Amino acid sequence: MRYSTSSNAGDNGTVVAGGNGAGNTSTSLNHPWGIWYQPSVSSDLFITNHDGHSIMRWTPGATSGTFIAGTPGKAGSNSTLLKNPMGIKLDNYLNMFVVDYSNHRIQIFCANNEAGMTIAGTGVSGNTTTTLNGPRGIAFDSDMNMYITDFGNMRVQKFLKL
């Protein structure tokens, strides 16, 4: 599959979220990293706002988004805060799985809940099978087993669904 980016054809990219410079407001993004979109579940984009330490829900083309996890511009490690989130996935029930990079953990935020729960990692960098070191990406197989790219440990870990 290819996508044309020819300015002559009039099919350049279109800004659908942010575009107002770096910031921690509902109209800007601060180094967005991860994105999730599955129109069969939600028509919104879910974006990890890496240096904004938050997750935004954004309807494509809207002039602003809504913060749904973390506190914009405030890094932290309690259940309501994030520190440099990167990867993101949602399930069919809109439960959100967030790779909390600088906290070395994976958080789940149940639908419409601003408090997360750590489901992988300990919040402290490490190289055992129960710890992570700068995780970045997340994926699930058809049985909902979770795969995490454990960047600092140069590995991918698989966590079995209970």
What are 30-83's pLDDT values in tens digits? 999 999 999 988 899 999 999 999 999 999 889 999 999 999 999 999 999 999
pTM of the predicted model over 0.85: yes
Predicted local confidence at residue 152, as pLDDT? 97
pLDDT digits (tens, 9 = 90+) for 134-154: 999 999 999 999 999 999 999
Buried b (16+ CB within 10 A) or exposed e, 55-72: bbbbeeeeeebebbbbbb
Which residues, 6+ apart, have CB-to-CB distance to 156 below 8 Å?
A: 147, 148, 149, 150
What pLDDT digit, counting tens, does each position of 105-131 carry? 999 999 999 999 999 999 999 999 999
Burial of 130 (0-12, 13-18, 19+ CB in 10 A): exposed
Domains and CATH numbers, the chain: 32-159 (2.120.10.30)
22 C-beta neighbours (distance < 10 Å), count: 13
